[in-house]
Amino acid sequence: MGTITPTLISALERIVGAGALYWRPEDLLVYEYDGTIDRGRPSVVVLPDSVEQVSAIVRLAHKHGLPVVPRGAGTGLSGGALATEGGILMPMARMRRILEVDPVNRFAVVEPGLVNLELSNAVARHGMFYAPDPSSQKACTIGGNVAENAGGPHCLALGVTTNHVLGLEIVLADGTVVRTGGWGRERPGYDLTGVFVGSEGTLGIVTKVCVRLLPLPEAVQTFLAIFDSLEQASATVAAIVGSGIVPGALEMIDRQTIQAVEPTLHCGYPLDAEAVLLVEVEGLDEQVAEAAQSVTAICREHGAREVRSATERGAREQLWLGRKGALGAFGSVMPNYYILDGVVPPSELPRVLEQVNEICARFDLRVANVFHAGDGNLHPCILFDERVEGATTRVLDAGEEIMRVCVDAGGSISGEHGIGVEKREYMSWIFTPDDLAAMQRLKQAFGAGDHFNPCKAFPTHAGCGEVMRGPSVAAVGPGAYV
Amino acid sequence: MSLSNLAADLQAGLPDLAVVSGSGADGYEVNGLQPAAIARPRDADEVAALLRFAGERGLAVTARGGGTMLGQGNAPRRLDLVLDLRRLDRILEHRPRDLTVTVEAGITFGALAEALALHGQMLALDPPLAARATVGGVLAANASGPRRQRYGTARDLLIGSRSVLADGTRVRAGGKVVKNVAGYDLNKLLIGSFGTLGVITEATFKLTPLPAALGLLTASFDDLAAAHAVALSVTRSALQPLSLELAGPGIASRLSGTAGAGSTADGWLLVIELGGSPATVERTAHDLARLAASGGAREVRAQDEQRERIMRRLRDWGRSAEDAAALILRASVLPADAPRAARALAEAAPEGGSPALLVRCGSGTVLSYWDERAAADMRARVARLRRTLGAIGGTLVVEQASPALLATVDAWGIEGADVALMRRVKDVYDPRGVLSPGRLV
């Protein structure tokens, strides 16, 4: 691995200009973190402003044997944006322009550093929106979303990031700029865009993204159903999914979460409830009216003690408040959290949730569940205090057991947070050595080697270093999302 | 080893594998190439064994399902064996409550649709010739139909796969849950790869509930511009029709069966398929009829009883006996540029002729269907069309053609840095060129 020399620093400065790179330890410190409990310190942080600069930096890094790690807003939950092996960290914060909005052909071309929500806000005047809505959408970037194939509450009906990316401009390890996909048109040949989305920054650096825009729905209605038992709530989820209604979002919030959010956010969730479901239906007026009837009926049949609903934006946002602010609110309960991301078939939810709670009880840990129930995407959130001796180890051990439960239930080790550093060793639970080798061949085709985000997303090899883990476990509070 | 001994050699090497040669291999040619032998494996292990056999001997293999898209793409540079996957035809696991299904790749699309319909569900793809097309073939060809307007294409519905790579390695990608980001998404690479990277043996899909009600609305227009403007306004609205097809003169007139499709010989017919709850369908039909009328439609008709027939014909156009085309060219442009592409295609016709045109409005796909006479000597015209379409960022694919024409034109017509990357992808997954070499890149 190469080292940082004054010559390299000045070469980088010539590319990006003074003020767009950091190498002093006190400056690097703030780039050590993302949303996980892992840390990694880059050797140098460089902020490019154009594809030409990205290409020049990548070529220079290649020459010096330094890895390049792209970074969006650092909201990631698997360590994807951490320079765990040192090298050049490349935040895309300066490349945040909306380059083109084409409402007729329903796409937009944006730079990777653009904040997700800013895109939807910018195209709203055309009556359109960008569908994937990670809970961190006020902060996370489109480039980061592409790297992680991010999801979000509304991905149940509309699909995740990969379903909405129509083309990419990427810089390969040798500095070559490649445009993939048809950018609003069909393009024959291998789907390089599709295979790049979700590659966690390991194949190249994204410098432009062409995304699909959708027309805003005519009507939206949000329901909050309150349950006295977790089993009833999860049975309701399974019933709604199985009924043929495809809600825009179907989220579950359990008692621990309610207890945490209600005192601070005052969202109107009853403190004695065991679970609440948030169901959002959208579409034409008629469609929403019909879905509303079915959803209400299913909730009541499954023992909901109360079903509230709202159609006005403000009132809907009030119902969503506890969901969106959950992680931040956990700070009032415990100083630290460890957020998991597993997927199971929705029909397995009742059994799996029970096991999650059993595991955490056995490890003497508090767990809050707030998650995308409709697609079976669990986010058990373990609340703890890192200052208690052995707590972090117990948390990680419980987390591993929970992941096993998801895999045993026919699911996966990540629905939307990515593998990153956190789960790279779990990959062999669901993939054979042959499967993993087949994936590695793609790195070869892209000429990526270990040039980009090394030692991520796959089981580690000999060259990978130890990841710093704790004692600075991620603290909860404002700016934390799931 | 001489190719004449290939079948015997293969049978000796893999005694349990069903091998056919001689007259049994009739009907198995690929773009005019005749394979020396046909293998009909029963499972993925046999597929893997066959590919290892082929790899060791430097043989070239083309995998096939129902053969409905087998003519698409360039003729393989070499062809020794055809791998017929139709015996892998089982539904392995249907989880109605989770809206997922796992099937073997050789099951026909029609058989799967029938089984799913019993549970009120569907795999939301409508490829041509569904009764014959296999699931694996639909994936490999990335085949789609009118309903992509609403449901997207295979890449939006495939959540997991098992395949056998060229060297016989068995590989799994994705899983059985609808949301999954573990590992590179190799499913995407397999979709539309035309069997050049691996042989798909198993696929898991996300399912969609069958719409409770369906309907069909047709609106006839004198000119393309007006019809297309209406279609574009629909794509920008909150209305969500299942299909949004614009049929040109050569098709519009022939869609009229006994009940008529509301078209005259020289006009354009906007065909809109609706689906959802009865109230949604009614409301959508009402809004669309108004949009079409104010957009200059000569006549708007509800044709619910004709829906099935008309949509089947649009799905299968150019490929079924009643409207077989000698040549199918597919232009892909931005949706707003579809009229320009349609004009360019019409102008490319030789004196006195014109292709039948069909615009898939939401995706900017313009399909053109040519008869024998027009199809002859297309080489220069395809090159000219590619220049015209290339100027607006579009592409032209030769989707179905005679082997003679395919010998003189590239079926895909794409260039760029991404094509070089695609070649590297092919090279790392199939370095020996076992799987249909030359068919795609």
Domain ranges (residues) in chain B: 3-84, 91-209, 213-304, 321-417
Q: How confident is the model at residue B263 (pLDDT cuts 50, 70, 90)?
A: very low
- Report the chain B residue with the minimal C-alpha distance to residue A374: B98
**Distance of residue A360 Cα from the nearest chain B Cα, in angstroms:** 24
**Distance of residue A456 Cα from the nearest chain B Cα, in angstroms:** 10
**pTM summary value:** 0.96
**Distance of residue B309 Cα from the nearest chain A Cα, in angstroms:** 26
**Distance of residue A216 Cα from the nearest chain B Cα, in angstroms:** 6
8 Å CB contact of A186 and B364: yes
Q: Which domains does chain A have, with CATH numbers?
A: 6-94 (3.30.43.10), 98-215 (3.30.465.10), 219-328 (3.30.70.3450), 334-408 (3.30.70.2740)
Average pLDDT, chain B: 94
Q: Which CATH architecture has domain B321-417?
A: 2-Layer Sandwich (3.30)
8 Å CB contact of A194 and B428: no
Please indicate whether residue B258 or residue A367 has the higher confidence score (pLDDT): A367
Span B61-79, average pLDDT: 96
Chain centre to alpha carbon of residue B214? 23
- Report the chain B residue with the minimal C-alpha distance to residue A181: B418
8 Å CB contact of A283 and B280: yes
**pLDDT tens sequence across A74-122:** 999 999 999 999 999 999 999 999 999 999 999 999 999 999 999 999 9
SS3 track for chain A: CCCCCHHHHHHHHHHHCCCCEECCHHHHHHHCCCCCCEECCCCEEECCCCHHHHHHHHHHHHHHCCCEEEECCCCCCCCCCCCCCCCEEEECCCCCCEEEEECCCCEEEECCCCEHHHHHHHHHHHCEECCCCCCCCCCCEHHHHHHHCCCCCCHHHHCCHHHHEEEEEEECCCCCEEEEECCCCCCCCCCHHHHHCCCCCCCCEEEEEEEECEECCCEEEEEEEEECCHHHHHHHHHHHHHHCCCCCEEEEEEHHHHHHHHHHHCCCCCCCCCEEEEEEEEECHHHHHHHHHHHHHHHHHCCCCEEEEECCHHHHHHHHHHHHCHHHHHHHCCCEEEECCEECCHHHHHHHHHHHHHHHHHCCCEEEEEEEHHHCEECEEEEECCCCCCHHHHHHHHHHHHHHHHHHCCCECCCCCCCCCCCHHHHHHHCCHHHHHHHHHHHHHCCCCCCECCCCCCCCCCCCCCCEECCCCCECCCCCCC
The pLDDT of residue B293: 97
Which range has the worst mean pLDDT, B282-291, B318-327, B383-392? B318-327
The pLDDT of residue B1: 47
8 Å CB contact of B283 and A377: no
- Report the chain A residue with the minimal C-alpha distance to residue B426: A445
Report percent pLDDT > 70 for chain B.
Answer: 97
Task: Tell me if residue B342 falls in helix, strand or coil.
Answer: helix
- Report the chain A residue with the minimal C-alpha distance to residue B232: A104
Q: Which residues of chain A have pLDDT under 50?
A: 471-474
- Report the chain B residue with the minimal C-alpha distance to residue A440: B184
Span B163-168, average pLDDT: 98
8 Å CB contact of B280 and A290: yes
Instruction: Out of 1.20.1250.20, 3.30.465.10, 1.10.3720.10, 3.40.630.40, select the CATH number for domain B91-209.
Output: 3.30.465.10
Select the residue of B99, B192, B335 nearest A105 (Cβ to Cβ): B335
8 Å CB contact of A185 and B395: yes
**Distance of residue A101 Cα from the nearest chain B Cα, in angstroms:** 14
The pLDDT of residue A305: 96
Select the residue of A184, A191, A216 nearest B189 (Cβ to Cβ): A191
The pLDDT of residue A472: 40
Does the domain made of B3-84 have the CATH classification 3.30.43.10? yes
**Distance of residue B277 Cα from the nearest chain A Cα, in angstroms:** 7
The pLDDT of residue A276: 96
The pLDDT of residue A477: 52
The pLDDT of residue B376: 74
CB B152 within 8 Å of CB A163: yes
Report chain B residues whose CB lies below 8 A from the CB of A197. Answer: 185, 188
Can B91-209 and B321-417 be said to share one CATH topology? no
Report chain B residues whose CB lies below 8 A from the CB of A105. Answer: 334-336, 364
**Phi/psi at A275 (5° precision):** -160, 150
CB A454 within 8 Å of CB A85: yes
8 Å CB contact of B97 and A238: yes
pLDDT reading at B350 higher than 90: no
CA dihedral A465, A470, A475, A476 (to 10 degrees): 70
Select the residue of A181, A287, A441 nearest B429 (Cβ to Cβ): A441
**pLDDT tens sequence across B126-135:** 999 999 999 9
- Partner A, chain B 37-96, Cβ-Cβ below 8 Å: 95-96
CATH class of domain segment(s) B213-304: alpha beta
Please give the Cα distance from A374 to A378 (Å, whole number).
10
**pLDDT tens sequence across A218-228:** 999 999 999 99
Q: How confident is the model at residue B24 (pLDDT cuts 50, 70, 90)?
A: confident
Mutate to test the interface with B, among A128, A161, A186 (most CBs of B within 10 A): A186
Please give the Cα distance from A334 to A365 (Å, whole number).
11
The pLDDT of residue A468: 66
The pLDDT of residue B282: 97
Mutate to test the interface with B, among A51, A183, A185, A423 (most CBs of B within 10 A): A185
The pLDDT of residue B258: 42
The pLDDT of residue A481: 61
Report chain A residues whose CB lies below 8 A from the CB of B212. Answer: 244
8 Å CB contact of A442 and B395: no
Mutate to test the interface with B, among A412, A417, A431, A434 (most CBs of B within 10 A): A412
Q: How confident is the model at residue B374 (pLDDT cuts 50, 70, 90)?
A: confident
Please give the Cα distance from A153 to A324 (Å, whole number).
10
The pLDDT of residue B179: 95
- Report the chain B residue with the minimal C-alpha distance to residue A373: B179
Parallel, antiparallel, or unpaired: how do β-strands A21-22 and A44-46 relate? antiparallel
**Distance of residue B373 Cα from the nearest chain A Cα, in angstroms:** 27
Mutate to test the interface with B, among A145, A191, A245 (most CBs of B within 10 A): A191
